[in-house]
Structure 1
Amino acid sequence: MTAEPSRPAGRMRASDADREAVVEQLREAAAEGRIDLCELDERLGQALTAKTHAELAPLTEDLGPAVFGSEEPLTLKGGIHGAQRTGRWKVPPRVVAYGGMGGVRLDFTQAECRLREVEVEVDAQMAGVVLVLPAGWKADTDALDLGFGGLKDKTSGERLPGTPVLRVTGSCGAGGVVIRHANLRERRKQRKESSR
């Protein structure tokens, strides 16, 4: 089997997360007064219809380093002891979670997220993956393979305006995927920490 020739980075197809990252950078630049509203409208239109990284790059090259394609995904591996991301953390455009034997828990309730869409790729394996969402966030699981463990979505499914959508893909494996809101114990703990 022969390896495919590598494709120049600029010809890589842009994802929704790539376009959203550029849109966010443009909005921040307008808020800081680095581009005016007419230029913002023009660049936003081009960003939302861009198909490749080469089309996105010129829209932000005078504003600082490109934000798409450069940020590594957040990868959590449950291994034997498990892994989690909780408390205050910045949500990247892409998250990858491998459940392993110990499981993975991603708690978004106190996370900083400026994106409208986040790609969450799961491989639940034996112990599964748990996603804890704030009220008003929505998870799109249409592309998720239910595997043996299946999916338990305990959220309302209703999205509040301005909140992100998590596009959950991958496999539920044997351990399954659970999507829920914070339980009473978790909410009490968060209130106690925020009052310090």
Structure 2
Amino acid sequence: MSLEQPPPARRASDHDRERAAAVIQEAHSDGRLDFEELDERLTRVYSAKTEIELRTATADLLPVAHGADAELTIRAKHSAQKREGAWTVPERVTALPEHSSLKLDFTDAVVRWAEIHVEARPKHSSIVMIVPEGWSVDLDQVDMVGSTAKNKATAPKPGGVRLHITGEARHSSITVRHPRKRHWWWPWYRK
């Protein structure tokens, strides 16, 4: 009998380290870290090999919510909406697509919260959320009315962000997955 090993932690890029360093420097400028803590944490960040090490170094530096920065409402009617790239993720997102498609890609997003709440209320729509490896996803508190919900995100890790999804889906689909991998022999291939 063999025990299945969890996949290795996702390796951190230079871009990941720079984002984590920015969080630490902001905490220092706010007075939440002194010079000694700033130096110690920046050393940890720039020597980090995995994304989990970066999140551990910044986990207690959640920013103070400033009005609209803590919430985002996305409305779409008969259209397609996307949030991708290096967008700043608020603590609460309300998704209200109607006869539309909505894509929330958290892969390269600036995430400063240990837990993100998404209230999803799609009507005749689709919502796709793309999360990095290691995130935990709670999709059980969405009321489904003639709809489907799929959580394809696997292997949550300690210290990973928790994505908590609530709401009501009417004749819609909600899918949470990891980024699609490109094959090295054909960089334009997509699953």
For the aligned pair, the TM-score class normalised by the smaller chain equals 0.5 to 0.7
Residue matched to 1:49: none
Instruction: Pick from 179, 186, 190 the counterpart of residue 182 of structure 1.
Output: 179
For the residue of structure 2 that corresponds to 1:78, the secondary structure is: strand
TM-score, normalization by structure 1: 0.59
Deviation larger for 162-171 or 71-80? 71-80
Displacement of 1:66: 5.3
Mapped to 1, the partners of 2:75 and 2:116 lie a distance apart of 19
Structure with bigger strand share is 2
* 2:116 is equivalent to residue 118 of structure 1: yes
Instruction: Pick from 100, 125, 134 the counterpart of residue 98 of structure 2.
Output: 100
- The amino acid of 1:32's aligned partner reads L
* 2:107 is equivalent to residue 109 of structure 1: yes
User: What aligned pairs does 1:47-86 form with structure 2 within 5 A after superposition?
Assistant: 67=65, 71-86=69-84
After superposition, the C-alpha distances for 1:120-163 in whole angstroms (9 at most, x for unaligned) are 0001211121111111111112221122112111111x322222
Mapped to 2, the partners of 1:94 and 1:70 lie a distance apart of 10
For the residue of structure 2 that corresponds to 1:28, the secondary structure is: helix
Gaps of 5+ in 2: 1-22, 38-62
- The amino acid of 2:157's aligned partner reads L
After superposition, the C-alpha distances for 1:62-110 in whole angstroms (9 at most, x for unaligned) are xxx9526663521112211111101111111001111211211100011
Residue matched to 1:33: 34
Query: % of aligned pairs identical?
Result: 28
User: Is the Cα–Cα contact under 8 Å of residues 139 and 151 in structure 2 kept in the other structure?
Assistant: no
For the residue of structure 2 that corresponds to 1:99, the secondary structure is: strand
Displacement of 1:183: 1.6
Aligned residue-pair number: 136
Mapped to 1, the partners of 2:178 and 2:164 lie a distance apart of 17
User: What aligned pairs does 1:160-179 form with structure 2 within 5 A after superposition?
Assistant: 160-179=157-176
Gaps of 5+ in 1: 1-23, 37-64, 190-196
For the residue of structure 2 that corresponds to 1:146, the secondary structure is: strand
Structure with bigger helix share is 1
For the residue of structure 2 that corresponds to 1:143, the secondary structure is: strand
